[in-house]
Amino acid sequence: MAQKETNGDPAFEKLGVTSWLKLKLFGKDKKTSLVDTQFFDDFSSYKTIGRYDIEKKLGQGSMGVVYLGEDPYIKRKVAIKVARPYLDQQDDEAQKYSKRFFAEVQSVGRLLHPNIVAIHDAGLHQNFYYLAMEYIIGSTLDNFCTKNNLLPVSKVVEIIYSACRAIDYAHSQGVVHRDIKPSNMMLTESGDIKITDFGIAHVQTDNSYTKGVIGTPCYMSPEQITDQAVDDKTDIFSLGCVLYELLAGKKAFPGDNHFAIMYKISTLEPDSILNIRPKTPPILDKIVRKALAKDTSVRYQSCMDFAYELRVALRGLTNTVKKSKIDDVIDYVHQASFFENFTRSQVNNILKSSNLTKVPKGKILLSEGEIDDSFYIILSGKAMVRKNKKNIAVINRGECFGEMAYLAGGAREATVFAVTDCILMKISATLLEKSPESIQLLFMKRFAMTLLTRLAQKK
């Protein structure tokens, strides 16, 4: 039946059946914020939610309403987000929703970062789930996405740079945002960025669409709209959309309805920012394009890579950045998990006996039988170990490879190639041996940990 209905609709092939059907049935021609009005009426009479006194409504989105409240004991203002479980509490689905809601809140609640809105509390008030979070005085980035109210380019870059660092921190804690968009990013009175709603978009039951609860797809990644598994890179795409909009004053993938937008995201390149705002530095157009790559292996492999390039761009835009290039490089290298027990000055020291290289996807990084004294740490991207024509192990960002030949003193026992574009740190063992013993010891500890992990994986 689906076959018959989709005849002549090229989007069907691109979007996959689930998204296509959702669009056909529920999404097309609908605007966002479809939470039913009964829900708001129910709530307008409440003076308290949980232990919080309600002062006024701050705003409303596709999944609920946000109120300004006050904690009566701490006398602290809080923003309270109320989401409606649309199913009866006795229902099995509702039980599942409840479990997922609190599981998600637990992981998100642990995030502690100056650029992430803190979650103070969560609970169930009558039939409504609520979250009490840090109240931000400021405005969402929505307000700076129109032609006549754009921020200076350097401020935009600074905001997205800070956002990258915050999101990278969340990723390191295993939390993917999944709903990065201007209305989830608030600019405080002092000009700092605060990101809200981490992971919360994820807490929907499969029936969300039947209630018309569907947010805007404008910032969704191609993999999100085609219902594929998503990872950190989905946030990079969405943040790329926000960067585009803040620079261009228009959406990267505009459209009159959800269907048109989703079709564009999965098939078309956005108009070049240089055509829309010709004075934009070309490097930013390049950065936006890389963040918006439809193929995840071409996109920035981590928010830190994205941040690093923004930092480089920022240096060209403003003289107010006091940090020198070497500081940027140290920061970038230091964020790799391999170096988590190293101090900044130790990282600086290691940089003297190493070099950083960018390698394209597919490149052979080291070959079986080769003899040399270097080993590598992946700062960005992913590589594969290959032996006897079989792929035997993946090496991720923050991990090392090639250290066996150095430790055992023989030839390479396997081949390693880049699965995505990678940024590598190549360290010369001969030079490392000239480093202070404390540094050598840290390397040995890290190698020992790596070996143990690999042995455990083999079992």
Ligand X SMILES: Nc1ncnc2c1ncn2[C@@H]1O[C@H](COP(=O)(O)OP(=O)(O)O)[C@@H](O)[C@H]1O
Which residue ranges make up the site for ligand X (CB under 6 A)? 58-62, 64, 66, 79, 81, 117, 133-136, 140, 183-184, 196-197
- Residue 402 contacts which entry, ligand X, Mg ion, none (Cβ below 5-8 A, type-dependent): none
Tokens read off for 27: 């999404």
- Closest CB to ligand X belongs to which residue? 61
Q: Which partner from the list Mg ion, ligand X, none does 109 bind, CB cut-off 5 to 8 Å by kind?
A: none
User: Pattern 295-334, binding to Mg ion, x per CB under 5 A?
Assistant: ----------------------------------------
Distance, CA of 62 to CA of 65 (rounded, Å): 8
Q: Residue 12 contacts by C-beta under 8 Å, 6 or more apart in sequence? A: 6, 20
∠ at Cα 112 (137, 308), nearest 5°? 90
Decide if residue 204 touches Mg ion (CB under 5 A). Answer: no
What are the backbone dihedrals phi and psi of residue 54, each rounded to the nearest 5 degrees, phi first? -90, 130
Kind and range of the H or E element at 383? strand 383-387
Interaction of residue 117 with Mg ion, rule CB under 5 A? no
Q: Which is nearer to Mg ion, 61 or 402 (CB)?
A: 61
Beta carbon nearer to ligand X, 118 or 260? 118
| Interface pick for Mg ion out of 104, 158, 168, 197 (rule CB under 5 A) | 197
91 catalytically annotated: no
DSSP bridge pairs for 121: 132
* Contact indicator for 217, 252 with CB cutoff of 8 Å: no
* Shortest distance in whole angstroms from residue 413 CB to ligand X: 51
Closest residue to Mg ion in the complex (CB): 197
64 binds, among Mg ion, ligand X, none (CB under 5 to 8 A by kind): ligand X
Structure letter (DSSP) for residue 24:
I
**Sign (positive or negative) of CA dihedral 13, 15, 17, 21:** negative
The alpha carbon of 405 is separated from its chain's Cα centroid by a whole number of angstroms, namely 35
Cα Rg of the chain (Å, integer): 24
User: Which entry of ligand X, Mg ion, none binds 82, CB below 5 to 8 A by partner kind?
Assistant: none
Check if the beta carbon of residue 398 is closer than 8 Å to that of residue 424.
Answer: no
Residue whose CB is less far from ligand X, 175 or 395: 175
In 3D space, the residue among 125, 143, 123, 145 whose CA is nearest the CA of residue 133 turns out to be 123
Output 140 or 238, the one with its CB closest to ligand X.
Answer: 140
The total number of residues shown for the chain amounts to 459
Q: Give the nearest distance from C-beta 71 to Mg ion in angstroms.
A: 21
**Cβ distance to Mg ion smaller for residue 59 or 362:** 59
* CB of residue 80 to Mg ion, shortest distance in Å: 13
Sign of the CA dihedral running 165, 167, 172, 173: positive
Q: Which H/E stretch holds residue 428?
A: strand 422-428
Q: Which of 38, 37, 56, 39 is nearest to 47 (CA)?
A: 56
Q: Is 184 a residue that touches Mg ion (CB under 5 A)?
A: yes
Residue 140's binding partner out of ligand X, Mg ion, none, with CB under 5 to 8 Å set by partner kind? ligand X
Decide which of ligand X, Mg ion, none touches 136; Cβ closer than 5 to 8 Å per partner kind: ligand X
Annotated catalytic residue, options 9, 168, 179, 305: 179
Residues with Cβ within 8 Å of 255's Cβ and at least 6 positions away in sequence, in order, are 261, 263, 264
Q: Which is nearer to ligand X, 196 or 335 (CB)?
A: 196
Neighbours of 453 (CB within 10 A): 11
Q: What is the DSSP string of 247-298?
A: HHSS-SS--SSHHHHHHHHHH-PPPPHHHHSTTS-HHHHHHHHHHT-SSTTT
Q: Which does 252 bind (CB under 5 to 8 A by kind): Mg ion, ligand X, none?
A: none
User: Which of the listed partners (ligand X, Mg ion, none) does 58 bind, with a CB threshold of 5 to 8 Å by partner kind?
Assistant: ligand X
Q: Which residue lies nearer to Mg ion by CB, 199 or 381?
A: 199
Tell me which residue of 391, 386, 381, 396 sits closest to 366, measured CA to CA.
386
CB 167 to ligand X: min, Å: 16
Closest by CA to 11, choosing from 295, 269, 265, 294, is 265
Cβ distance to Mg ion smaller for residue 177 or 233: 177
- Stretch touching Mg ion by CB under 5 A, among 197-205, 255-263, 277-285, 391-399: 197-205
Least distance to ligand X, CB of residue 247, Å: 21
* Shortest reach from residue 285's CB to ligand X, in Å: 28
Closest CB 183 distance from ligand X, rounded Å: 3
Q: How far is the CB of 212 from ligand X (least distance, A)?
A: 14
Q: Which residues bind Mg ion (CB under 5 A)?
A: 61, 184, 197
Give the residue numbers marked as catalytic.
179
